[in-house]
Amino acid sequence: MKRYLVALLLICFCPLLLLAQELWHEDELMDTIYTNVDLFEEIDPLDFTLTFNIKEYLRKKHSEEYVPVELVVHFNDTIDVHRNMRIKARGEFRKSTCYFSPFWLNINKANIENKYLQDVKKMKVVTHCRNGSEYEEYILLEYLAYKIYNILSPVSFRVRLIDITYVDTGRKNKVTHSWAFLIEPEKMLAERFSALAIKNDKLAMVYMRPGEMLLASLFQYMIGNCDYSVTGRHNIKILGLPGYGSEGYTPVPYDFDYAGLVDASYAIPGEDLGITSVTQRYYLGPCREDAEYQSTMQHLKDHREEILELVQEFPYLSEKGREKAIAYIESYYIDASDPDFIKWTLSSSCR
């Protein structure tokens, strides 16, 4: 009789114990996600659902008004995290050019228990400018530009790819999908290096640390980007690294959708450059002695295989897009191998 009762109790309570254990593991996982996970250390894309009134967002994109959204982060088949947040459009040119411009995701007061985001109020999200597969490719190629600079310099913005599902409450919950990516907040970047974010638009290249300025400039040349300037901090952030005083100013490039690597249909080179397409490279960096150029060019050369492997193994680009990106990067290395490259390409247009 006792054995029968024990067996009956096990049959009744074991499923409950297993369920409790499973829920405990899920709670433990959620605590880990909230508290310990650095979003930008992971490689796999995040899976987001954003639910909001897109018509209202588009109507307000030229203002500074936020639009409420519900964000759901899908961690796996059983765990979703729901948070109420706000978004607003950013980028004056993108607001005018794009149907759906990049936006700020305001996470302030969203009850995000993550130690890496405690001082962060909003995050940049880069998403599709317009509908269509070519605009999806632009997002993926710009993401790769950030990843290439991560290879070349640790003092660089990290990014995290996102697969976003948009649910438009203004159109009977119409569902669309797009690639996007998060950009590491400037505050997080500065904290990683115990640095200060410098808010000075009057600085010039001459005030930047020489090696980092040259590296950033040659990287911009490699990806075919001329849409940047230290003065005015146009698509450049400046960090003040510790222990260097004013000599610690370090440029950190961002925003690469005008690069030849991306080759966006809306990208037009500056009129004063004398080039007709963003796929034509033009060096806008500082003048240096040949030995300094050669040292930095060698740094790019040392990472050639790693950069090409990054693009080759990136699974989300179309085959055509991947081949085009690899060919464009390879063309830099071919040009840089010319004995007259420094004389006729770098020294001829340096600042």
Q: Give pLDDT, residue 95.
A: 84
Global confidence as pTM: 0.89
Residue 341, judged by CB atoms within 10 A of its CB (0-12, 13-18, 19+), counts as middle
Q: Three-state SS for 285?
A: coil
Q: Give pLDDT, residue 116.
A: 65
Q: Give pLDDT, residue 245.
A: 66
> Among 47, 263, 251, which Cα is nearest to 140's?
263
Give residue for tokens 């109020």. 121
CB 65 within 8 A of CB 117: no
d(CA 313, CA 300): 19
According to DSSP, the β-strands at 46-52 and 159-168 are: parallel
pLDDT tens, the chain, 351 aa long: 545 444 444 344 444 444 344 444 444 445 444 556 788 998 899 999 999 999 999 999 888 889 999 999 888 777 888 889 999 999 888 888 888 889 999 988 767 766 667 667 899 999 999 989 999 999 999 999 999 999 999 999 999 999 999 999 999 999 999 999 999 999 999 999 999 999 999 999 999 999 999 999 999 999 999 999 999 999 999 999 987 666 789 999 999 999 999 999 999 998 899 999 999 999 999 999 999 999 999 999 999 999 999 999 999 999 999 999 999 999 999 999 999 999 999 999 999
CB 265 within 8 A of CB 225: no
Cα angle value 250/153/309 (rounded, 5°): 155
* Type of residue at 4: Y
According to DSSP, the β-strands at 103-106 and 67-74 are: unpaired
Question: Domain ranges in the chain?
Answer: 44-127+156-186, 193-346
H helices within the chain, ranges in order? 2-36, 54-59, 92-97, 133-152, 186-192, 210-223, 290-302, 304-312, 319-336, 341
Transcribe 59-110 into DSSP letters.
HTTTSS--EEEEEEEE-SSS-EEEEEEEEEE--HHHHHH-SS--EEEE-TTS
Q: Compute, in degrees rounded to 10, the torsion defined by CA atoms 271, 274, 279, 280.
A: -160
Helix axes 210-223, 290-302, angle to 10 degrees: 60
Q: Three-state SS for 173?
A: coil
